Amino acid sequence: MNEDQRSLLLSSSSRFPPPQGVRLLYGTAGFRADAALLGSTVYRVGILAALRSLKMEGSVIGVMLTASHNRVSDNGVKIADPSGGMLSQSWEPFADALANAPTSQHLLQLITEFVEKENIPLEGVRRPEILLGRDTRPSGESLLEAAKQGISSILGAVAIDKGIVTTPQLHWMVRARNQGKKSSELDYFEQLSSSFRCLIDLIPSGSKISEVDERLVVDGANGVGGEKLEVLREMLDGMVVEIRNSGKDGGVLNEGVGADYVQKEKFAPHSFGSQDVGLRCASLDGDADRLVYFSVPSKSCNKIDLVDGDKILSLFAIFIKEQLNTFSEEGGENMSSTYHARLGVVQTAYANGASTDYLKKLGLEVVFTPTGVKYLHEKAAEYDIGIYFEANGHGTILFSESFLCWLEARCGEFSSVSKGSEQQKAALRLLAVSKLINQAVGDALSGLLLVEAILQHMGWSIQRWSELYKDLPSRQLKVKVVDRTAVITANAETMVVRPPGIQEAINAEAAKYPQGRCFIRPSGTEDVIRVYAEASTQEAADSLANSVARLVDQFLGFGSSSK
Ligand code: 16G
Ligand code: MG
């Protein structure tokens, strides 16, 4: 590292001293904390992003300022790699070390060692480029400044501010830019709206939905998703969408609103209620990378019928499978080449057991990974079509390059020999899905449009969709413990290997209840252990969750060390 670079780093970092007595971790999806603590972390992430760009031969890297569904006083920062996916896990320890370096000297030493170890061409010819995005949090603006300072403390690095965007928009832009494709926000909206239109135009003529089902009401969590959906709505003629909680009417981000609230509490969000009985409703989270649907079944209470990520996954899987089946039906063998597309479904331990049974009965290959998009995404990318969803509503569908090439070729072939055939329509639909659904990360806006297109295609109401299977009752709890890192899990978080003895105790509890299933895991975003239980009745699920929470407290709680 040359002298100019050293002194630049030393002088700029002295303006962003780290907070005292706080240890910040990159966690499941980036750093998250009270916004007041994050200035130095965001500045340092700016440095890391510039180094990552240099390491990746000048590819564009993304930095997103958001704390998703957390309260408005929090904020966070995460990094998008050149593919648009999450930062490579191999760099996470460096991110942790960087965030926690106590002084500018320590910081400089860490960077120098890392640059050497990773062979990062600091004085090369490349100009690292970083796309910056932020959600609607008031702290976003000053943290943006910190990120810019971090980026410009690597000589030659350039920050490009994309303003207020959803998390998936930023990931999409990074991916598109690195692929040499059009990558502006308008391009994003145009791609979504034109592929949606294509799916609608290909709806079989017999499919009809009733008038009441034409209307969709969306809860924008008082975050960035609502305002972006308003723009998108202008480009979608014929879609009736009402947007509430768009943040304009004084509502607070994520307070009693949003996908996380709706999914965990199973209550209608603020400004939804008895006037909405029977309507199809959807809820986004604060940065619009999660989507759940719901309906209000009766006027008498605020309880909802939740249609979660598992059911979105099931809807997508049915539709994709229907299209793939068309290729093997009569006439399909006339194609010049066949392609046995591998379709896979990826879930986590939080997936409702009823959804997994349902998907397996459809004949689908279902695999499990630990919680966190980076794990699900990586697994889904192993298939020609990999559909992944967390129950909380984060998910997407990934298409392999080779399958897309095959589809493109088939479309060309069909248009000369069997124009208008079912096979051609199926190929066109799958291509449209691959353009509509975000290939970089789960995206509530593109997911919403795909759900809407498929429901119209099937002629289904939300009630018909919800009845695909009946969720097993479940309960989630969290328990404060002395040290959550003492819990080590295995088998996609379905069993605990440490501390010894606790898994046997959990098994013994679960065995007491019909269809009882329970697991615990350390949260990656909060300092707690999470407990998930499901069983054949709500009372049983509650009771199982409570007894396992007590076990967690006995083994790991504040009284545990003296026992
Ligand atoms: C983050 C993850 C989400 C996961 C959640 C779990 C990403 C982009 N987001 O929000 O996938 O479900 O954390 O939180 O990876 P927890 O570890 O606190 O339960
Ligand atoms: Mg989110």
Residues 167-196, mean pLDDT to the nearest whole number: 98
- Taking the C-alpha atoms of residue 491 and residue 504, their distance in angstroms, rounded to an integer, is 15
Question: Can you read off the two tokens belonging to residue 206?
Answer: 């017999």
Q: Say what the pLDDT of residue 130 is.
A: 98
pTM of the entire structure? Answer: 0.95
**Among the listed residues 464, 463, 441, 461, the one whose alpha carbon sits nearest the alpha carbon of residue 452:** 461
Q: Are 72 and 293 in contact (CB under 8 A)?
A: no
221: its two tokens: 């969590």
The more confident residue out of 421 and 318 is: 318
Taking the C-alpha atoms of residue 140 and residue 7, their distance in angstroms, rounded to an integer, is 28
- Closest atom, ligand 1, to C-alpha of 392: 12
Q: Are 357 and 469 within 8 A, CB to CB?
A: yes
Choosing from 28, 87, 171, 375 the residue with most ligand 1 atoms within 8 A of its CB, the one to mutate for a pocket test is 28
Contacts of 536-539 spanning 24+ positions with Cβ under 8 A? 536/472, 536/473, 537/473, 538/473, 538/475
Cβ distance 406 to 430 under 8 Å? Answer: no
Q: ω before 121 within 30° of 0 (cis)?
A: no
pLDDT of 373 higher than 80: yes
Stretch 88-113: mean pLDDT: 97
Mean pLDDT of the region 172-179? 98
Closest atom, ligand 1, to C-alpha of 522: 17
Between the alpha carbon of residue 553 and those of residues 175, 255, 501, 505, 549, the distances in Å are 44, 29, 14, 13, 6
| N residues, the chain | 563
Q: Which ligand is nearest to the CA of 441?
A: 1
Share of the chain above pLDDT 90, in %: 88
**394 C-alpha vs ligand 1 centroid, how far in Å?**
9
- Does the pLDDT at position 417 exceed 90? no
- Please check the confidence at residue 462 and state whether its pLDDT lies above 80: yes
Cα-to-chain-centroid distance, residue 419: 38
pLDDT band per the 50, 70, 90 thresholds, residue 450: very high
What single-letter DSSP state applies at residue 426? H
The model's confidence at residue 334, banded by pLDDT at 50, 70 and 90, is low
Angstrom CA distances, 476 to 2, 260, 352, 527, 541, stand at: 53, 12, 12, 15, 9
- pLDDT at residue 29, as a whole number: 86
| Spatial distance between the Cα atoms of 505 and 516, rounded to a whole number of angstroms | 14
**pLDDT for 336 beyond 70:** no
Checking if the pLDDT of 331 tops 50, the result is yes
For residue 98, count CB atoms less than 10 angstroms from its CB and return exposed for 0-12, middle for 13-18, buried for 19 or more: buried
* Distance in Å, CA 120 to ligand 2 centroid: 32
Q: pLDDT at position 525, please? A: 84
Residue 352 has pLDDT above 80, yes or no: yes
Cβ contacts of residue 416 below 8 Å, gap of 6+?
A: none
**pLDDT for position 211:** 66
Report the pLDDT value the prediction gives residue 93, as an integer from 0 to 100.
Answer: 96
For residues 504-512, give the mean pLDDT. Answer: 98
How close are the terminal C-alpha atoms of the chain, in Å? 53
Residue type, 425: K
337 has pLDDT over 80: no
Q: Report DSSP state, residue 482.
A: S
- pLDDT 10s digits, 12-28: 999 999 999 999 999 88
What is the model's pLDDT at position 563?
41
Q: Provide the percentage of residues in the chain whose pLDDT is more than 70.
A: 97
Residue 562 has a pLDDT of 42
How many Å lie between the centroid of ligand 1 and the Cα of residue 299? 33
**C-alpha to C-alpha distances, 157 to 64, 152, 339, 351, 549, nearest whole angstrom:** 17, 6, 44, 42, 49
- The pLDDT of residue 96 is 97
Q: How far apart are CA 193 and CA 187, in angstroms?
A: 10
pLDDT at 251: 94
Q: Which residues line ligand 1 (CB under 6 A)?
A: 28-29, 68, 371-373, 390, 392, 394, 523-526, 530
Q: Determine the Cα angle at 469 with ends 468 and 471, to 5°.
A: 135
pLDDT at 166: 98
Confirm whether 446 is a catalytic residue: no
Q: Read off the DSSP letter of residue 60.
A: -
> What pLDDT score does 561 carry?
55
Q: pLDDT grade, residue 208 (50/70/90)?
A: confident
Measured CA to CA, the distance from residue 200 to residue 209 in angstroms comes to 13
Kindly tell me if the per-residue pLDDT of 185 is higher than 80: yes
Q: Which residues contact 323 (CB under 8 A, 6 or more apart)?
A: 426, 427, 429, 430
CA–centroid distance for 294 within its chain: 19
Interval between CA 404 and ligand 2 midpoint (Å):
28
pLDDT at 526 over 90: no
Q: What is the largest CA-CA distance in the chain?
A: 78
Query: How many A from CA of 509 to the centre of ligand 2?
Result: 33
DSSP string covering 196-246: HHHHHHTS-TT----SGGGEEEEE-TTSHHHHHHHHHHHT-TT-EEEEE--
| Residues 132 and 144: beta-carbon distance below 8 Å | yes
Question: What's the pLDDT at 339?
Answer: 79
Most informative mutation of 77, 135, 373 for ligand 1 (most atoms within 8 A of CB): 373
Helix (H) or strand (E) holding 375: helix 373-380
With residue 389 as reference, give the H or E element that holds it. strand 385-389
Query: Which of 140-154, 299-313, 497-511 shows the lowest mean pLDDT across its residues?
Result: 299-313
Cβ-Cβ contacts under 8 Å for 180 (sequence gap 6 or more):
none
The ligand 1 atom nearest the CA atom of 530 = 19
Residue 414: other Cβ atoms inside 10 A? 20
- Helix axis angle for 309-328 and 444-458, nearest 10°, is 60
188-197, 234-243, 277-286: range with lowest mean pLDDT: 234-243
Cβ atoms of 530 and 520 within 8 Å: the answer is yes
Inter-axis angle of helices 104-117 and 3-13, to 10 degrees?
Answer: 140
Please pick, among 12, 53, 59, 68, the residue that the annotation labels catalytic: 68
Closest CA to 283 of 301, 299, 305: 305
Q: State the pLDDT at residue 213.
A: 76
Residue whose entry in the numeric block shows the structure tokens 């960087």: 98
